[in-house]
């Protein structure tokens, strides 16, 4: 008999800087570091809670991991229909075959797994499955009693029934061609009857509980008492102070020929920057063409950055509406940004100073992560002033106007531009934001190292090298030029920009 596990509530879920997936991955790597594998990780819970998405992301975060999709082990549709069963019922699944394959996986032996075909309603083919060091079992039945003795670690993902309903109805209509009535009926029987009877109890057995919010962000809800005691450092270290000083790369947003975001190119770019030693990036800034991104696209770029960039992420949330700026800022806080920066509203030129002070204070007072102001009067026609900086509680400013007189009025000053980095540092700046570093991050990283080491001669040489590169035909902060050079250095990266840019 398997006993229920004593759990403790995880307090870090609401404000953690990293995604729940990244935290779980680090915990698993640490927990099974001495185990050669295969290690079987169950990801269970009711349908419509994001298990498959989480399982794929978890496998990407782990070393040598693969996903075994348990939906492929369904019995034929006609058999289930004849017995009035849906997928959450144990008898609707080929449990014995699954157990046979899990035993082979544990023995490091490959096997031919079934491939279920939604169109025909049965598994009409197989494919070879080679067990990795870690095998993630994605499916409701992964935490059921019938397979628990073969599982090394279990994760239960839950959500409120409205989120489950919305997800399942959308999926069944889009992917399976169900009518809305059939999709709702399927949800009622599968989630509220079958899973409640056969699967809900497995939550008390799972080592970790995640909760899928209505915006589909996963947060850690609770962990077993044993895990909490052994890995409290991993679970709590996100609350250490964030170091924002030094180089910040204002990343570009890649668009394909139809001007949709090309996610794979964005991922490859982030990985290139991280490999070059870049520790901090600015997402959805001017260089990213934020002015042409929809709110959903701005969310996508942040989520990808948080998933694939291991360093500090500063999110630009500015818009011409306080409500929209607030939404972006709070989304950034919720989805793992380390800091938020915002421009003044940029439609109404020469806005009243009192109005700008109220605007920025409304944003900053509702955030629990560092809040920076963004000075770019050439575009906003609303320059930041010493009075605004004095009366707005803020962490620092990103200054694309290079107005060094503002340095003494802000806690942390970041100069926007490549040719005046040392000038800004000499007057008290703590960092700089570069667009050109997108395609030549190496010398910028070296300059940051020279500044930390207080090597003035080396820093001077690098500043001159950067200035010369900036003045070259392929240099500068022109977004189109940056993308063109980046496309030459990163194969497959698209150089497209959205109108009105050319």
pLDDT tens column, 317-365 = 999 899 999 999 999 988 889 999 999 998 999 999 999 999 999 999 9
Q: Parallel, antiparallel, or unpaired for β 280-283 and 246-250? A: parallel
- Report yes or no: 118 and 174 within 8 Å, Cβ to Cβ: no
Q: Which residues touch 400 (CB under 8 Å, ≥6 apart)?
A: 286, 374, 375, 376, 378, 416, 417, 433
Q: What residue segments make up the domains of the chain, in order of their start?
A: 7-239, 246-489
- What is the spatial distance between Cα 19 and Cα 495, in angstroms, rounded to a whole number? 30
Q: What's the pLDDT at 75?
A: 95
pLDDT tens column, 213-225 = 877 778 888 888 8
Dump the DSSP string for 287-343: TTTGGG--HHHHHHHHHHHHHH--SEEEEE---S-HHHHHHHHHHHHHTT-SEEEEP
Token pair in block for residue 220? 């850690």
Residue 8: strand, helix, or coil: strand
Residue range 300-326: average pLDDT? 93
The CATH number for 7-239, chosen from 3.40.50.300, 3.30.360.10, 3.30.70.20, 3.40.50.1400, is 3.40.50.300
Q: Which of 93, 173, 100 is nearest to 139 (CA)?
A: 93
pLDDT tens column, 231-284 = 776 666 544 457 899 999 999 999 999 999 999 999 999 999 999 999 999 999
Token pair in block for residue 226? 């044993």
Residue range 139-168: average pLDDT? 91
Mean pLDDT of the chain, nearest integer? 90
Q: Which residues touch 255 (CB under 8 Å, ≥6 apart)?
A: 261, 262, 494, 496, 497, 498
CB atoms within 10 A of CB 65: 22
CB atoms within 10 A of CB 294: 9
Residue range 54-69: average pLDDT? 94
Strand order across the 218-224 sheet: 7-9, 218-224, 208-212, 153-158, 39-44, 134-138, 65-69
Residue 116, beta-bridge partner list: 123
Q: What's the pLDDT at 8?
A: 54
- Report yes or no: 130 and 78 within 8 Å, Cβ to Cβ: no
- Report yes or no: 256 and 494 within 8 Å, Cβ to Cβ: yes
The alpha-carbon radius of gyration of the chain (Å, integer) is 26
Judged against a pLDDT cut of 50, whether residue 1 lies above it is answered with no
- Classify domain 246-489 by CATH architecture: Alpha-Beta Barrel (3.20)
Task: Report the alpha-carbon angle 458-463-467, nearest 5.
Answer: 150
pLDDT tens column, 357-402 = 999 999 999 998 899 999 999 999 999 999 999 999 999 999 999 9
């Amino acid at each position: 008999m398997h006993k229920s596990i004593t759990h403790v509530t995880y307090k870090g879920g609401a404000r953690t800087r990293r995604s729940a997936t990244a935290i779980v991955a680090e915990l698993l790597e640490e927990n099974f570091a001495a185990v050669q594998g295969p290690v079987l990780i169950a990801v269970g819970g009711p349908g419509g809670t994001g298990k498959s998405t989480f399982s794929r992301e978890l496998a990407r975060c782990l070393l040598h991991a693969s996903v075994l999709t348990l939906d492929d082990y369904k019995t034929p549709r006609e058999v289930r229909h004849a017995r009035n069963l849906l997928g959450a019922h144990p008898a609707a699944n080929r449990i014995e075959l699954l157990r046979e394959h899990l035993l082979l996986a544990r023995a490091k032996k490959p096997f031919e797994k079934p491939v279920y075909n939604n169109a025909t309603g049965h598994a009409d083919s197989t494919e070879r499955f080679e067990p990795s060091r870690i095998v993630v079992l994605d499916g409701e039945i992964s935490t059921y009693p019938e397979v628990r003795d073969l599982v090394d670690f279990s994760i239960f993902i839950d959500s409120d029934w409205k989120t489950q309903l919305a997800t399942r109805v959308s999926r069944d209509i889009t992917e399976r061609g169900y009518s809305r009535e059939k999709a709702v009926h399927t949800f009622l029987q599968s989630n509220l009857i079958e899973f409640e009877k056969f699967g809900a109890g497995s939550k008390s057995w799972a080592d970790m509980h995640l909760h899928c919010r209505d915006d589909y962000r996963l947060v850690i809800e609770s962990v077993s008492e044993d895990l909490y005691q052994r890995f409290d450092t991993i679970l709590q270290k996100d609350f250490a102070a964030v170091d924002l000083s030094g180089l910040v790369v204002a990343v570009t947003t890649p668009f394909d020929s139809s001007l949709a975001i090309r996610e794979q190119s964005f991922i490859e770019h982030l990985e290139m920057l991280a490999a070059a030693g870049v520790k901090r990036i600015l997402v959805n800034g001017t260089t990213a063409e934020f002015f042409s991104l929809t709110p959903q696209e701005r969310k996508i770029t942040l989520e990808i950055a948080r998933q694939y960039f291991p360093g500090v992420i500063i999110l630009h949330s500015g818009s011409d509406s306080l409500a929209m700026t607030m939404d972006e800022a709070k989304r950034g806080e919720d989805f793992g940004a380390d800091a938020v920066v915002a421009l003044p509203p940029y439609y109404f030129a020469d806005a009243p100073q009192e109005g700008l002070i109220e605007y920025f204070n409304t944003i900053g007072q509702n955030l629990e992560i560092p809040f920076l102001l963004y000075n770019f009067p050439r575009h906003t026609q609303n320059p930041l002033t010493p009075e605004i900086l004095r009366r707005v509680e803020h962490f620092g400013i990103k200054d694309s106007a290079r107005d060094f007189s503002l340095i003494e009025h802000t806690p942390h000053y970041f100069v926007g531009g490549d040719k005046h980095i040392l000038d800004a540092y000499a007057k008290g700046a703590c960092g700089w934001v570069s667009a050109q570093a997108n395609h030549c991050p190496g010398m910028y990283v070296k300059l940051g190292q020279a500044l930390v080491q207080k090597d003035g001669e080396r820093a001077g040489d690098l500043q001159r090298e950067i200035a010369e590169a900036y003045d070259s035909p392929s240099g500068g902060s022109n977004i189109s030029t940056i993308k063109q050079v980046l496309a030459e250095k990163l194969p497959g990266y698209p150089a497209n920009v959205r109108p009105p840019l050319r």
